[in-house]
Structure 1
């Protein structure tokens, strides 16, 4: 028996509301809701529902202005000649609490542009991006824009690209920034695709060079917005109340076992396998729900060391933020799951970082095992992509030794992120980037050094240095 919920219950429902449930629909009919796509407690609920044998996408608003805005946005898209889901029915319940339901056609078997971006090769994505740019240009010429434009706002089905989310349609401001924000949703190695798609914009296409510069700016703006969310309660993260500590957890990983571990991390040491026991950090491998986790404890070495660190973000906090930054830049790193800082009031003490465990050898050990096989082409591409994305993201690692680079499943994963920095000052960034390049080269000698020097020479030239073989 499916539970029947009321508007009052849905308005008070916290994050984590689960389907299926039933709700009264138009004409008193029962609306069966079987999937939730987005939930902003007390504001909006987006779900798939079935009524009279038909699947519809239902948006339930608890504020009338949001309901009006959604309908107006869909109308604006249709007026611009943009394919978007058609309205099926609306329902207003004066309450209390008041609720406003808008049902549009459900696009079965549609893939979002985000899905295509994750699964397709860059060259395969060009034509679909051209269509997205064309739709964006049409909207701009009507004096409107998707204010929070992102790849999930485009759905592809039966060779047709749809634009969705009428609530995001707003009066046009700074069209070049709006278009740059679309490309900023992708990692820096996709920036080159913008030049292949601009002619699809239509009349008065934007200047390509100005757009490239703005893409980097908008990407950093997007990253900073996302990083702010990693330490507060929101759709993606949760911050449980914990006495004497601050804890943040990735919501999709927040199992009972993980929350128990972050509540009492020291209890895990008795059953953990120690990967590293150092003065500054202790690294442990612990059994997770389905995969292993790595718990890294950042130690306080002495009274004076603790005093020097208590007023600053811990290295666990820096690594937590840095892991999310690198992921958004397309640089592989073990998935960050949770962070914990022991606190006495505003003073920070010992801290912990929990990530997924990546099985593999460090880059130096992996190449030694390979022996005379040399460096494969896919690894060359991974190394070039790593340093190119760091450059485009104006980010430095700070300790590019081979033990901090893990080869796993034909990917290069970067670990030990507490020295990662984003640089606002270009001059300071270039200095740090040069150090990263040279530190990477210091891992090698002989033919391996020569191979990587030739591979990374364009990167070194771009940053204004010549790489030096210190082992000769």
Structure 2
């Protein structure tokens, strides 16, 4: 679907009365979009649109095998949630057009942002207030027999002091209040999606949820089950996101060609994207090489450059050894190093660990064999830890926190060195080398490699 503003001529197939308009079944409506808010290619797009003089939120579903299911689930769940008194945008109408597109419309909530956006720049007091509000909403959801399957901060919308649930299509509704099992599962998923730097504040206000449902659950049993489930939920979330980084989504794009595959953030500047796809080597001409490195037999060279007021790092990964190329060709679980770094960087950012954000990944290939690639990263300003003469107590504390976060997420880092970390201009510890990270599914797998990592850390700290 084209993301540029467009017009829709829709026939209403089901409607709910709204305070400012009555959209009756069988009416024809003309809508003009104002902005594309979200786009999942081949599935759906979310627009801010104008309809009969009012702003509406329009969700349009493309033709695909699950189109009708997605539409009905969104519409039916939204109406049920709104009827139950839960805070969600009011559903207005369901409609279709002559080309086969299906759509649902909701009231448009002005001046709002997702909780993910709010929390990214919130001070501790604002963060605590927002988390309390989120926990109160969860208590209401659970008491009403509802929960969000895709329970992350991007599915909650804050506007003028009110908090709303988004994405009704991924909600589950039951006839009675949720069981303790369902509550534990849903709260564990929420905790898994709270960024690590916000966990301390979250733990401090978590009693808000328990205070909202004193007669519905046994606190001791609930907290005991939650302590067991949270590590598993975090691990599932991390593994799921790693897979997600290698396919197209609302935020990432992927395209495959005989000689290359392309992965990029959808917000990547179009001019920069064109240059990378046309000839990435042009960025190395006349630039100072910032160093080379070899990781498990695969080397890379990197350079810095600026474009349109932004600073970037571009790495060129060399052709790996024949053994590594054969391993990647015949295995579905072994990926090119450049693609591993792309996925690892996004996974770390997802859980709130500081590392340079990957912006684009170009994998070169011939007859299915990996020939090397390029990785574009945001540049983080600051000195490498190995270049500093002194290390403050705060940096030592941040390093200790990083290792504890690795443990809770079952992450190991092979060969962690001071040159793998830097201190940015805000005094934050940033993990620069993400290629050597390993994300482990099982506890036993993690413990085996963590024992080897512990010896390396002792040498580093010593």
Scaled to the shorter chain, the TM-score interval is: 0.7 to 0.9
Q: Is the 8 A contact 1:262 1:338 kept in 2?
A: no
**Alignment partner of 1:424 is 2:441:** yes
Structure 1 residue 54, shift from structure 2 partner: 2.5
**Alignment partner of 1:183 is 2:191:** yes
The C-alpha deviation readout for 1:192-240, integer Å capped at 9, x for no partner, is 5254333145121661232133222222222222222222233222223
**Alignment partner of 1:299 is 2:299:** no
Question: 1:83-162 residue pairs with structure 2 within 5 A?
Answer: 83-87=87-91, 89-90=92-93, 92-93=95-96, 95-122=97-124, 124-162=126-164
- The count of corresponding residues between Structure 1 and Structure 2 is 422
The C-alpha deviation readout for 1:98-130, integer Å capped at 9, x for no partner, is 444433222212232222321224564334333
Distance 1:47 1:348 in 2: 39
Distance 1:380 1:197 in 2: 33
Structure 1 residue 322, shift from structure 2 partner: 1.5
1:430/1:30 CA distance change after superposition, 3 Å: same
Scaled by the length of structure 1, the TM-score of the pair is 0.79
Distance 1:158 1:254 in 2: 32
Structure 1 residue 375, shift from structure 2 partner: 0.8
Distance 2:417 2:51 in 1: 59
Q: Is the 8 A contact 1:242 1:263 kept in 2?
A: no
Partner of 2:284, secondary structure, is helix
Cα RMSD, aligned residues only = 3.0
Q: Is the 8 A contact 1:329 1:393 kept in 2?
A: no
What does residue 217 of structure 2 align with? 204
Question: 1:35-434 residue pairs with structure 2 within 5 A?
Answer: 35-41=35-41, 43-61=43-61, 63-87=67-91, 89-90=92-93, 92-93=95-96, 95-122=97-124, 124-172=126-174, 174-192=182-200, 193-194=202-203, 195-202=206-213, 203-204=216-217, 207-253=222-268, 255-277=270-292, 280-300=299-319, 312-366=334-388, 368=389, 375=392, 377=394, 379-409=395-425, 410-430=427-447, 432-433=449-450
Deviates more, 1:135-144 or 1:299-308: 299-308
Structure with more strand by fraction: 2
- Give unmatched runs, 5+ long, in structure 2: 11-22
What does residue 17 of structure 2 align with? none
Scaled by the length of structure 2, the TM-score of the pair is 0.80
- Give unmatched runs, 5+ long, in structure 1: 1-12, 444-448, 450-468
Distance 2:323 2:79 in 1: 64
Structure 1 residue 170, shift from structure 2 partner: 2.0
Distance 1:337 1:124 in 2: 30
Partner of 1:399, secondary structure, is coil
Structure 1 residue 395, shift from structure 2 partner: 0.4
Distance 1:396 1:97 in 2: 51
The C-alpha deviation readout for 1:337-389, integer Å capped at 9, x for no partner, is 222333233322323322122222111323x1xx6xx6153x34432332221
